[in-house]
């Protein structure tokens, strides 16, 4: 199994200013690569291209999956041969919009467009729900995507792991005062599926919401590899050794092999 160098971005973004936010993301990629030139994948927060907010303006700023954000970031991905994952407001059919995550590969191609499956009660007033569980192999491993509140649902993590995901990417916009559930859910989804998990969050305020950061990368034993301890912008990096998953599953973490499939439905 391969090793992969990844980064997660903890940051603040301007409400509705897609051009500003995408340019900021491009600068953050440059900063990350200047400090850690071996970085192969970089993860940005939920709805980072628009800022996270919930009002009727979401309809105005929604765009197709191949819109301005994609065109700009695809060029960067291709230029630096890096995988980029980020959140945006996707325009669907008949005035529907989705809380979506796009993953662009090293050649500048869109390989994942994930529409958030589990919306919060407030989000349900604005977004339509997704229904596709998506796993994709890239050069160094296999990734699955979840978004923020999806972390609270172990069934989704299990489905992604059962489809071969080595690493779960979880862009988030998780607000105060719920930092403990964010950390516990993240750690639990890593350990209960014996997968690596990378999650990142906003910082600062948006409308009535205040974000606490605490971006982190967890190992398949649930242990913290790296975590932000401050409510300020940061880029965290780590090298993941996917062979660790096999070692752990063959020793103590034998849940997959011990699962009573005769009693419980497999996802």
Return the CA Rg of the chain: 17
> Mean pLDDT across the stretch 179-194?
97
Question: What was the pLDDT predicted at 2?
Answer: 85
Percent residues over pLDDT 90 in the chain:
92
Q: What is the pLDDT of residues 85-113, one digit of tens each?
A: 999 999 998 889 999 999 999 999 999 99
Tell me the average pLDDT across 135-142: 95
Q: Is 116 a catalytic residue?
A: yes
Is residue 148 among the annotated active site residues? yes
* Cα gap 225→240, rounded to integer Å: 9
Catalytic residue among 46, 90, 106, 183: 46
**Distance (Å, whole) CA 44 – CA 52:** 12
Q: Has residue 266 got a pLDDT over 70?
A: no
Within 118-264, residue ranges assigned H as helices are 154-162, 179-193, 243-249, 255-258
Rounded Cα distance, 71 and 234, in Å: 25
Q: How many CB atoms sit inside 10 A of residue 204's CB?
A: 16
- Predicted local distance difference test score (pLDDT) of residue 218: 98
pLDDT at residue number 1 = 52
Q: Is 46 a catalytic residue?
A: yes
Task: Exactly one of 32, 48, 148, 200 is catalytic; name it.
Answer: 148
């Amino acid at each position: 199994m391969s090793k992969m160098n990844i980064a997660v971005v903890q940051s603040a973004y301007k409400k509705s200013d897609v051009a500003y936010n995408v340019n900021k993301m491009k600068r953050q990629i440059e900063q990350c690569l200047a400090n850690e030139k071996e970085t192969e994948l970089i993860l940005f927060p939920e709805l980072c291209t628009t800022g996270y907010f919930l009002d009727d303006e979401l309809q105005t700023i929604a765009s197709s999956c191949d819109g301005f954000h994609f065109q700009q970031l695809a060029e960067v991905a291709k230029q630096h041969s890096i995988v980029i994952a980020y959140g945006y407001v996707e325009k669907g059919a008949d005035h529907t919009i989705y809380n979506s995550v796009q993953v662009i590969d090293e050649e500048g191609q869109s390989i994942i467009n994930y529409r958030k499956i589990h919306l919060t009660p407030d989000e349900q007033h604005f977004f339509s729900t997704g229904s596709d569980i998506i796993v994709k192999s890239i050069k160094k491993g296999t990734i699955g995507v979840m978004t923020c509140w999806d972390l609270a649902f172990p069934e989704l993590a299990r489905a992604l792991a059962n489809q071969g995901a080595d690493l779960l990417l979880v862009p988030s916009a998780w607000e105060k005062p719920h930092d403990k559930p964010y950390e516990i859910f993240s750690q639990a989804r890593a350990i209960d599926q014996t997968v690596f998990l990378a999650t990142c969050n906003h910082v600062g305020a948006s409308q009535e919401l205040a974000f606490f950061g605490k971006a982190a990368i967890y190992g398949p034993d649930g242990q913290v590899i790296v975590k932000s301890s401050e409510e300020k912008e940061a880029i965290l990096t780590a090298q993941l050794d996917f062979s660790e998953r096999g070692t752990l599953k063959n020793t103590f973490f034998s849940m997959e092999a011990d699962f009573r499939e005769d009693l419980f439905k497999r996802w």
